Amino acid sequence: DAKTTQPNSMESNEEEPVHLPCNHSTISGTDYIHWYRQLPSQGPEYVIHGLTSNVNNRMASLAIAEDRKSSTLILHRATLRDAAVYYCILGLSNTGKLIFGQGTTLQVKP
Amino acid sequence: DSGVTQTPKHLITATGQRVTLRCSPRSGDLSVYWYQQSLDQGLQFLIQYYNGEERAKGNILERFSAQQFPDLHSELNLSSLELGDSALYFCASSARGNGNTEAFFGQGTRLTVV
């Protein structure tokens, strides 16, 4: 299965933008890129997903590289409630699997 | 509230025993996923069902089995439990389970094997 690579941890200041990178060099042409986040002792929460074009929703933006081998999740103004583990995931089109990587722990400082 | 219900929330059992974890998907979702999350580990994909049929299999042990019933709820059965099976088990559901629709996760079942 294709896999994703993310930095183990990142820090941000409150109310500043955060760019969380993800590499997925083995992605196939029809696999979707998903982002989820997980707070301690909770189930993962859907953030955003896309195929080729950049995507925006009320939570975040997703910027996908032209060759689709990498993507960036953008939180426009980090809040303390955004501190979580962020997972970049591939939604495999041939099986429907959602394969989680190790995730990035985001710390937001006041 | 994601709309996905998992029961029980907590389970403590002894080694060698068998337990059943239950998941009710969101209304209208046809696909169910099961994941295992051990302490300080990421989410390991176990198995996926779509409309009652197994769709994809991950790193699921032979001691574990699952099924999805006609009413779309799913059960994960864990048998001959070992200490290492202690983990959070999450269920997720999605509308089509084809990789391009979002999944909604339950709050998990925390299994402790003593």
Digitized pLDDT (tens) for each residue of chain A, 110 residues in all: 668 999 999 999 999 999 999 999 988 888 999 999 999 889 999 999 999 989 999 989 999 999 999 999 999 999 999 999 999 999 888 888 888 888 999 999 99
Using the 8-state DSSP alphabet, how is residue B27 labeled? Answer: T
Q: How far is B91 from chain A (nearest CA, A)?
A: 9
pLDDT, tens digit, for every residue of B3-13? 999 999 999 99
Tokens of A50: 């896309």
Output b/e per residue, B13-38; b: 16+ Cβ within 10 A.
Answer: beeeeebebebbbbeebbbbbbbbbe
Write out the two tokens for B20: 């059943």
Taking CB atoms and an 8 Å limit, are B97 and A92 in contact across chains?
no
Tell me the C-alpha distance between B50 and B38, whole Å.
25
Q: Label residue A53 exposed, middle or buried (CB < 10 Å: 0-12, 13-18, 19+).
A: exposed
HSE, side-chain direction, 13 A CA sphere, residue A34: 26
Disruptive mutation site among A24, A33, A46, A92 for chain B (greatest number of B CBs within 10 Å): A46
Q: Which of B41, B47, B88, B98 has the highest number of chain A CBs within 10 A, making it the mutation to test binding with A?
A: B98
Quote the minimal CA–CA distance from B15 to chain A in Å.
24
Q: Over 90: is that where the pLDDT of B41 sits? A: no
- Omega prior to A7 cis, within 30 of 0: no
Shortest distance between the Cα of A67 and any Cα of chain B, in A, equals: 19
Residue contact A96–B55, C-beta within 8 A: yes
Q: Under an 8 A CB cutoff, do B97 and A96 touch?
A: yes
